[in-house]
Amino acid sequence: MTQSIYGKRLSVSNLTLVLSLLFVLISLFFFATTTHAQSTARDRVNIQNGNVVTDDGKPLRGGRFWITPGAITQMQAEPTQFREYFRSLSRDYHLNVVRICIYDQYQTLDPASVSSTVDTVVNWAEEDGIYAIVNWHTGFENYTTQINLTQADRFWAFYAPRYKDRTHVIYEGSNETVTNAASQEHMYNYIRNLAPNTHLIMWSVPNTSQYYGGDTTRPVIDLTTIQNTTGINYSNASIGYHTYSSTSEDTTAKSWRDAGYPIICTELLSDSGTRTPVNYVNMMPLIKSKETLGISWMNWMTFNYRIPVVDQGMNFTADFITNLGTYGITFWPENFKSLVVNGGFEKDALNSQTITGWTTSSATPNADYVDKYAHDGNNRLTHYYASAFNIYTFQTITGLSDGTYKLTVWVRRGGTFTRSMIVAKKFGGTDLSVTTPDNSSWTQVTIDNIVIANGYGKIEVGAYTDANAGAWIGIDQIDLIRTN
């Protein structure tokens, strides 16, 4: 039997060979596509100088994301809002880790019952290029909670193999339980057997010293306890601890680090009593201490903490990041919130020419509008007109403290231009500008070392275009951050 293809005759054996080769090519294509998709995830965390750090050597900085029945109900009711809020954590605030707290206070949870929500958050983290800590969130009953090893095995039997090959995932064994060396060793070995390469955070005590009147009911670990717990290999594991109110916890943790044990702070907050409004004056020393020591940290009050009626947590992260600069945190400008309003042009509908936060100055005012094909998100700003035009889209930012700032903008353009510039002006110094590159691919331009002094407190930033008919420029992600 023969088959005719394009006038040529193939034997059955040859046809089989062709089909086999085609199958191999298709398989290779899907393998390459899958490999590429997986490569967007963060590589595994490292240990440097006794600190847990990202794949590029930066501290982990972030907060927690509740997995409770109430939180799950809210996420299901508002999936778009929750996804956009989560995305903003890395895009707008440059946080790089989420601590997924799977709440099991009484150690009775069926781990599978919340797995679809945990999967969602783990996937969001990968898509956004940040890390995810999966935490069995036990405790606490007046600091007396013991680990139920049967429930620990049940929980980790489900989750440890589930994400063991996800390089951006970290496991945190428990939360604020009485520290028992035998139970920690048991959990470590149980999880490690199921997830050989995943970084494990063990212990996770609420405090490291008895600073409330020597309260001996609190779960305290000391260096002797750590050294006597020989069943944990700290080459890919760390000691988790929490700080509330006192920087003395960091001093104690540093002593463990100095003895060769990696450390990470998985909770911090200014006090353990009233948590809203947040006492930023007390919180700032806690963060400064960790930044000075290079210790990774997670703030307790960020992410999806919700209070009925008042959207407390969804607004908290923005307030938190903004207040860092106000109270003098200058160690990590990459975490500062951009001071530009609507710098990604996401607040307005496509083709809108009334753009939230922005003003237009032009003889051809119809030449700027919200457009699609963004660098990030859905929208961008476009300058374009069918005839020759010039236009200036700008924003005045006020209330700035004295310091040094940086303006960054993503641009792409096509056509013939007389001038095309990103500008920073009216800040009390010499006006600054940078010419946009003649490139149809997205390119970031920067105006650095913008010094605001003597209480001047404001700046004008914008995009100016003077172009021939039919020229266009796309503008996106306009960010102004304080760098010191």
Residue 34's pLDDT is 33
Whole-model pTM above 0.85? no
pLDDT tier at 306 (50, 70, 90 boundaries)? Answer: very low
Going by pLDDT thresholds of 50, 70 and 90, the confidence category of residue 225 is confident
pLDDT band with cut points at 50, 70 and 90 for residue 191: very high
Comparing 427 with 38, the larger pLDDT belongs to 427
Tell me phi and psi for residue 410, to 5 degrees: -100, 130
Do 295 and 264 meet the contact criterion of CB atoms below 8 Å apart? yes
Query: Rounded mean pLDDT of the chain?
Result: 82
Q: What is d(CA 122, CA 140) in angstroms, rounded to the nearest whole number?
A: 25
**pLDDT tens, position by position, 281-290:** 777 788 878 8
Question: If you average pLDDT over residues 10-28, what whole number do you get?
Answer: 46
- Answer yes or no: are the C-beta atoms of 132 and 168 closer than 8 Å: yes
CA–CA dist 170, 298 (Å, integer): 13
Indicate the pLDDT class of residue 125, thresholds 50, 70 and 90.
Answer: very high
For the stretch 236-259, pLDDT in tens is: 999 999 988 778 889 889 999 999
Reported as a single tens digit per residue, the pLDDT across 130-171 is 999 999 999 765 556 789 999 999 999 999 999 999 999 999
When comparing pLDDT for 141 and 26, which is higher?
141
Is pLDDT of 6 > 60? no
Across 168-189, average pLDDT: 90
pLDDT, greater one: 438 or 75? 438
pLDDT band at 210 (very low <50, low <70, confident <90, very high): very low
Q: How far is C-alpha 288 from the chain's CA centre?
A: 19
More confident residue, 224 or 186: 186
Higher pLDDT, 280 or 66: 66
* pLDDT for res 144: 63
Model confidence at 10: pLDDT above 50:
no
Instruction: Tell me the pLDDT band of 29, cut-offs 50, 70 and 90.
Output: very low
Hey, what are 181's tokens?
Answer: 């060396």
Q: What is the mean pLDDT of residues 307-311?
A: 36
The residue with greater pLDDT, 12 or 49, is 49
- Whether the per-residue pLDDT at 336 is higher than 80: the answer is no
Paired residues of 171 in beta bridges: 134, 200
Q: Residue 86 contacts by C-beta under 8 Å, 6 or more apart in sequence?
A: 65, 98, 121, 124, 128, 303, 304
Distance from C-alpha of 475 to C-alpha of 368, rounded to nearest angstrom? 10
405-444 confidence digits (pLDDT tens): 999 999 999 999 999 999 999 999 999 999 999 999 999 9
pLDDT at 323: 64
Lowest mean pLDDT across 210-224, 343-357, 366-380: 210-224
> Can you tell me the distance from the alpha carbon of 407 to that of 449, in angstroms, rounded to the nearest whole number?
9
Here the tokens at position 19 are: 């089909």
Read off the pLDDT of each residue in 332-341 and give the average, rounded to a whole number.
62
**Cα distance between residue 165 and residue 397, in whole Å:** 45
Q: Examine the pLDDT at 14 and tell me if it is beyond 80.
A: no
The yes-or-no verdict on residue 213 having pLDDT over 50 is: no
Domains of the chain, earliest start first: 2-37 (no CATH), 46-332 (3.20.20.80), 359-482 (2.60.120.260)
Taking the mean position of all CA atoms in its chain, how far away is CA 154?
A: 29
pLDDT tops 90 at residue 15: no
